[in-house]
Structure 1
Amino acid sequence: MGNISIYSEFDTEYTLISDLFVDHYMASANGEFVKIYIYLLRKQQSGTGVPDLSSVADALLCTENDVLRALLYWEKKGLLSLSLTDGEVTSVTMRMPSGPQHLFSDGSGKNAFSGTDERSAAGGFSGTPGERAGYNKFIPESIGLSNERRRALMSSDEEAKQIVFISQKYIGKPLTGTDLNRILYFYDELHFSVDLIEYLIEYCVSRNKRSIHYITKVGLGWYQDGITTVQEAKERADTWNKDYYTILRALGITGVNPVKRQTDFMDRWLKDYGFSLEMICEACGRAVAKTGQPSFEYTEGILSSWKANHAASLEEVRLLDEAHQQKSSSPEKKASTEGRTQEGKKSFSNRFNNFHQREYDFHQLEKELLQKQLSEKKQNTDQ
């Protein structure tokens, strides 16, 4: 039977998006920011440009403030650079996303640029993990060996058999084929030693985490940090423990070890939210000042709010504080408060209208603060 021909009744134009963007930038970004970035790529590649930021907002059914925040976010990530005139954006230069060296492999196990052998490099590096900024690795979407590869290892490789025995002993139950595919992936593909895999499982079990999903997540974190020995893994664990006690002290808790519920909160702030210790300790201080006691729940509320507003530094938190303060002290807010005191309960319609008036003023204030941030960035660049 011959090939089936496929035809199209329409001409298709394309916008090229780098795999590096999809693999390393997209997942951690706000959905609105991703949408705006792709739209800018489309305009850049077509050579049409955009009249102004409001036209971008109109095209994407978002606000101009969303566009401003997205531009600042992607510039901070190094994916674009902005040119300003009198505090207004006049041009946007799209930059090529950067990614781990692993993505530039020619498939032979050697780096296509430097010619270094990645397989031998995985066996040992000089320096501490934190000094290996260039060693961060790309992790594929699918983690795990094939069933055929797992069976081959378990029938002929003594170290693989040892890993299976150790894993089931620590976890305390027989493991499924899928579980073994994941654990042996660290041995066969990521080149973890038997000792390192044993410590990985021991470390997770000691934290009452026996799920293969959790073990995989921790192991991939070690791999991306360039950890290749048990000693380096222990040093990393010690670093996390120090972070825990720093956070506890910021909450006014001393002389006790954190319990699981507390470490779950702190892991979320450090790993999932990606906040620095400086940011977390600032939130802790605010929580204690507000509640008069060490409240993980209140701290969580502060940090989740900062994350939702894309505040990644204390300077950005300061801008949020200014926006909130000016919104609270606006004439509309005061008039609304005084009116409620003098007149009592208002009609639903009036309350609804007042709400929208305050929201509009807040968006205008937010826009002014974002433009102020752009202007300050330009001044710092010119100095």
Structure 2
Amino acid sequence: MSFIKGSTSIDLGDTPIENIFIDVYMPMTNGTFVQVYLLGYKYSLDRDPNMEVNNMSIARHLNIPLSDVLSAWDFWESKQIVKKHKADGEDENNYTVEFINLKQLYIDNNYKANYNTQVNNNITEKKSDTYTCSPTDLVEANKVPEIRDMFVEINKIIARELAPNEKLKVIELLYQYNIDPPLIVEAFRYSKKQRKVRHILSYSAGVIRTWYDKGVFTVEQLQEYLIKQGERYGLYSRVFKSLGFGSREASEAEMKVMDSWIDEFKFDLDLILAACQNSSKTPNPNINYINGILRDWHKKGVKQVADIENLDYKEKKTFSYKPTQSTPKIKTKFHLAKSRGDKYTADELEQLILNNQKQRLNR
């Protein structure tokens, strides 16, 4: 699907809307609040002094109740993208609406020293020692490649796009616990694949809190923790990382094969990872290839990493080939007889050939 903008020969005016509003703020609310914002924004760009605009005229123009207009301005003010300035008089609904320049918000937050500084400066601390994030924080976070990749991976896991308010909750988790974005992805994957939960966002938040309390702040620490807890998820993740599969999830068939390494072969993680390292001999290693290595080791009685070295030594000793200093020439039946030319010199051979040719010509 694509979109094409048509052209016109008559200029009827344009109202430029910042993309930040369309991408970040517009999906947050209903269409009525968006209509109020856009119409008010258009009026802010019109310089006609004869045009009188107020909340009541906006309500009539959009054919909506006045209360909806007032609620819309309250909502956008809570998102910190407009400011209401009360005017003199008794009418509480008579105020001026100032539209905040969203591009300037972006520019103000664009130059941070590094990611850690970004995290610390984007945290707003409450009295209860919890944290909350604003849409501005989401705009700021989306500039970080690691966070953008995190959202992409989460979308794949839950098979849909995260809503803006859900993204804010994820960013809040990231800032609150100061953990790596890949660890948040693992929390969603763990919740979705292992626990089959329905409310995955809230459950993933609980998983992250548990891991944080256990001192787990990185994916590597998570793998060690889960393996110690007897969680097969940690094994799958560690094997896939060793094989360079990135963030790809293990299929049911692959998990079944990896389970057999523990349940049937009784192998520990070190021995399994040794097989993964051994897979460097092939350009495209996969689970079946590793399974072939481990099954062969199992048949030959390998039970620990030290046994691999002994096995390799025995196989090399059995099938070793030591080349000699000089390779003898191979003789065939054509080399058994001594050549007749051995008793003639080169000049004698040449004269003999000439004489034979003269005899043939004389015939």
What TM-score range do you get, normalising by the shorter chain? 0.3 to 0.5
Q: TM-score, normalised by structure 1?
A: 0.34
Q: Which structure would you say has the larger RCO, counting Cα contacts within 8 Å and 6 or more residues apart?
A: 1
Greater C-alpha Rg: 2
